[in-house]
Amino acid sequence: MEQSSVPMPPPLGEHLRSPELRAAMLVQQEALYAAREFLRGQGFTELLPPLVGPVTDPGGRGAKALDVDYYGHPYKLMTSAILYKQASLRGFPKLFYIAPNVRVEPEETAGTGRHLVEFHQIDVEIAGAGRQDAQDVAAGMLTHIVEHVWTAVPDVLRELGREELDFAELRSGKFDACTHEEAVARLVSGGHPQSPDAEIDWAGERILSLEADRPFFVNDYPKGSRGFYDREDPEHPGVLRNFDLLAHGGYGELVSGSERESDYATIVTRMRESGENPAKYAWYLDLAREGIPASAGFGMGLQRLVRFLTGLDALWQVSAYPKLPGVVAP
Amino acid sequence: MTGLKAAGFPERAVRARARNGTAEVFPPADGYGAELYGAEAASGTDALDRARIAPPVFMPRRLEKLIELGREPGHDDVDLRTEVGGFASELPLFLSAFGSTRAGSGDLGVAASRQAARLGIPMVIGENMVPVHGYRRAGADGADGARSALLARIAAYTEAVPDGVGGVVVQQSTEDADSEVWNLVYSDPGTRPLLESGRLAFELKTGQGAKPGLGGMTVVGRAEGARLAGRFTVRDVLGGGSAADADPAGAEGAYLLRCATPGTFTEEIVRQQLRFMRNNFPKARTWVKFHPGRDVAQAAATAWRAGADAVTVDGAEGGTGWAPRVFLDQVGLGLADCLRLIAARTAGAGADRPDAAVDCLLATGRMWEGGRAVRALALGARAVGLGRAALIAVDEDPQEGLVRLAGALALEARLLISALGKYTADALDAEDLWWPGGGRTPVGAGTPAAVPGALS
């Protein structure tokens, strides 16, 4: 397992008193301030996301949703609010959430340093937008956040060992891009066994991230590696109009995003392709039948962002109440 | 009644329908839970059973074995060990899913699991176990420490299976997806020994031999019907009668039919679902089960291309579960036809699929003895599944019944394979069969008829 040297959390009381957590929370509140400032400046409206619902993002990579008994109905805690983001577009064509998510991740992800069961996303959706538009917003927001934290709390970052120079390329607005196919080829030629049909695995993401000196987009993931709501490229069947944004320096994925599927019949078909029973998505499909606007959007992992900004080793160090996969914690 | 007669017409059946309506579409509901359904061959044989096993006179492979051993080989020299869907198996056998038939979900299922483990053969656990029986819950009372039918069977198997052989395969159908059976099983601490030793697989179930094109069906009492109505179609089509005998939960007095959806599949849906399984459960093997559809060869090829470790084809002779009579009698291809269609396609696929020879095909449908198993293997199957036969065997003797049944089958298989001058199960070939009318290709195919086989 990668990063097996990552330290494990101390008892909660001790963790809450640690100077690293205090520093991380100062950086986090500046990052949230900057994210809201940037998005509101671009005409976005902040909504508060739902916490439970009859269905949630079915996700992938073996992560589970938690069940809730809701007046006798089986409800789920939100693994992501993607379905609600799409549903909200008719009233709010540019919207965002700071959304709490719960994903019961496979236990083997406990050692990646990049997974928590409870985490937050800066969740953005834009009606009528394409992938490039979403990427522009993601890159603009990340640049603005980095600029802001280095202006607002530079001493905190330096105290944690961060150097301003590490962010120079990013702050000048330079982002690279490659396709999933190219990323797979690079990993395979370097001796890492990466499946061409799957998401880039954790170890592979880390390799790519360590090789880079600025953040980079990975585009065009294969169908079957992502949820039914990521739009398939009509020009290239089997390829999705989606992307990840990976940070440099070994920090890996910060953002997942995509153009969304909005055609009712295609959504139903894609649900079947991902093994879902469309009947349980009734509320969402009813709206899709009425018409959901075409859109693109993304979610930026808040804790992953703060870890990248602070340079701390593990995601639990930037969460006040960390829950690691497979570890029973308060 | 006026005494009107209609000689040469199925008068009795028409009168029964006139009296009992939709209840006559099915076998008698009061036999549910005590009878295993599925087709029985007309006049004792079906198309597969009509092929004769045809040893040659000249046996170059026996000479090879003679040279290897330095003595004349015998039937004990036949090695039946094989690889079944990514698992090592002591015999070219596996325990088939029993579906959600009540006969297969209680103590018999656990006894069959334990004996399959002792035999070192893989075991498939059927669909709808979780939506119908629950995951942690053993019964409606939810007693402390009680385990669901699914977990009880996995535990019994894991306790008894020797190292390095066997494996557990858990089906999920479209409705199971609501209960996320695979997710539950994959993350359950109880399955970790299987997962870590590479002996867990998930099977995408797209249909079954007994009722091709339909989903699972069970007979339930009113109380259970009300509980399941939110997730399944529950219909009052089985007529009256006291359900108390068959189902203690339904003491109010009538049987209901519970139907699961078969789910919708296209080539792309099968391909993507398999990819999704491999992505989400990278440590589990991927199996697929198809009903005996007319495009079963195309379906099998699609699954193998998408990386399935095993494709199971369930012939129309198969099944333990409840099914409408018309499906038991008249619907779906027989196993022989399925296997021949797949073999023909595989033979023609050589150029674009150089790995076709390693594709693992599994066959189920009325398997119980060595002759039929050897015929299926000769037509391209890697292993055959025991369903009804296994349940009857453990009903006869919960400790040793299945072990003895498999022992008899294995001895027959060794005798037959050695008589063909071969010494491994995978050496069997279509050349080893002789079809009625004289030849290496079958002529015509029988239609199986339905007769429930009562449990003793």
**Architecture field, domain B33-216+260-454:** Alpha-Beta Barrel (3.20)
Which among A62, A199, A224 has CB closest to B281? A62
What is the model's pLDDT at position B321?
67
What gap in Å lies between CA A75 and CA A78, rounded to an integer? 9
In a domain, A261, yes or no: yes
Shortest alpha-carbon distance between residue B170 and chain A (Å): 15
Give contacts of B280 with chain A, Cβ < 8 Å.
60-62
Residues of chain B in Cβ contact (below 8 Å) with chain A: 172, 174-175, 177-178, 180, 183, 186-187, 204, 261, 263-266, 268-269, 271-273, 275-282
CB pairs under 8 A between A and B: 67
Which stretches of chain B score pLDDT less than 70? 1-2, 6-9, 21, 36-45, 99-105, 127-147, 176-179, 240-253, 319-321, 349-357, 441-456
Residue-wise over B210-242: b if at least 16 C-beta within 10 A, else e?
A: bbbebbbbbbbbbbbbebbeebbebeebbbebe
Q: Residue ranges of the alpha helices (H) in A212-322?
A: 264-273, 282-290, 302-310
**Chain-chain contact of A277 with B177 (C-beta, under 8 angstroms):** yes
In a domain, A328, yes or no: no
β-bridge mates for residue B87, sequence order: B84
Is 60 exceeded by the pLDDT of residue A62?
A: yes
Give the CA distances from residue B203 to residues A158, A276, B125, B150, in Å, rounded to whole numbers and listed in that order. 53, 15, 9, 14
Cβ neighbours, 10 Å, residue A43: 9
Supply the pTM of this predicted model: 0.84
3-state helix, strand and coil shares in percent for chain A, rounded to the nearest 5? 40, 20, 40
In a domain, A3, yes or no: no
β-bridge mates for residue A67, sequence order: A76
What is the model's pLDDT at position A296?
98
Q: Do residues B349 and B301 touch, judged by C-beta distance below 8 A?
A: yes
In a domain, A4, yes or no: no
Instruction: Provide the mean pLDDT of chain A.
Output: 93
Cβ neighbours, 10 Å, residue B261: 15
What confidence tier does A1 reach under pLDDT thresholds 50, 70, 90?
very low
Element (H, E) at B170: strand B168-172
**Chain-chain contact of B279 with A199 (C-beta, under 8 angstroms):** yes
Say how many CA atoms lie within 13 Å of A284 toward its Cβ. 25
CA closest to A107 among chain B residues:
B187
What gap in Å lies between CA A238 and CA A258, rounded to an integer? 15
In a domain, A265, yes or no: yes
Average pLDDT over residues A281-290: 96
In a domain, A119, yes or no: yes
How many residues are recorded in chain B?
456
**Chain-chain contact of B279 with A224 (C-beta, under 8 angstroms):** yes
**Chain-chain contact of A106 with B186 (C-beta, under 8 angstroms):** yes
What is the model's pLDDT at position A309?
97
What is the model's pLDDT at position A230?
96
What is the model's pLDDT at position B129?
63
Which among A60, A222, A273 has CB closest to B273? A273
In a domain, A271, yes or no: yes
What confidence tier does A187 reach under pLDDT thresholds 50, 70, 90?
very high
Strand order in the sheet with A176-179: A45-46, A94-102, A118-127, A295-301, A252-259, A242-247, A216-219, A176-179
Give contacts of B172 with chain A, Cβ < 8 Å.
275
**Chain-chain contact of B275 with A224 (C-beta, under 8 angstroms):** yes
Residue B358: name the closest of B430, B289, B310 by CA: B310
Structural domain for A233, as ranges = 12-318
Boundaries of every domain in chain B = 33-216+260-454
Domain count, chain A: 1
What is the model's pLDDT at position B450?
36
What gap in Å lies between CA A211 and CA A249, rounded to an integer? 7
**Chain-chain contact of A60 with B280 (C-beta, under 8 angstroms):** yes
**Chain-chain contact of A274 with B277 (C-beta, under 8 angstroms):** no
Asked if the interface predicted TM-score (ipTM) of this complex is over 0.85, the answer is: no
Q: What is the CATH number of the domain that holds A214?
A: 3.30.930.10
**Mode of pairing for the β-strands spanning A73-77 and A52-53:** antiparallel
Q: Do residues A116 and A91 touch, judged by C-beta distance below 8 A?
A: no
Give the CA distances from residue B55 to residues A182, B50, B428, in Å, rounded to whole numbers and listed in that order. 55, 16, 11
What gap in Å lies between CA B160 and CA A320, rounded to an integer? 45
